[in-house]
Amino acid sequence: MKATKTIPIFKDENEERIFWETHDATEYLEMSQAKRVRFPNLKKTTKSISIRLPVDMIDALKVKANSMDVPYQSLIKMILSEGLKEKEWQP
């Protein structure tokens, strides 16, 4: 096991983020001791976008979403997610 550098104490998250963006973690952490973890309750970061759709398409989405008892924006996300999986565009 190699000797690792001491991780500095950070005054805030921003300072820590900048540090890790400019330093190699393998110099500070013994990677052979790392364990895989999952955070199943974390929500993915989202970003709002604007997209222009024909009014009749939006109406059809709203009708379909209503029949499924989901918001139409959620239905759009579901359709996009399934499309990405189908086309193998998603990692």
pTM of model > 0.75: no
> What would the pLDDT profile of 45-84 be if each residue is shown by its tens digit?
888 999 999 999 999 999 999 999 999 999 999 999 998 8
Total length of the chain: 91
pLDDT band with cut points at 50, 70 and 90 for residue 85:
confident
Q: Which residues of 3-26 are buried (b: 16+ CB within 10 A; e: fewer)?
A: eeeeeeeeeeeeeeeeeeeeeeee
pLDDT band with cut points at 50, 70 and 90 for residue 91:
low
**Distance from C-alpha of 87 to C-alpha of 16, rounded to nearest angstrom:** 38
Same domain, 33 and 50: no
Same domain, 22 and 50: no
For residue 16, what are the contacts with CB-CB under 8 A and spacing of at least 6? 10
> Could you list the residue range(s) of the whole structural domain that residue 45 is in?
41-91
Where are the alpha helices (H) located in the chain, listed in sequence order?
13-22, 55-68, 72-86
Same domain, 19 and 61: no
pLDDT band with cut points at 50, 70 and 90 for residue 40:
confident
CATH of the domain at 51: 1.10.1220
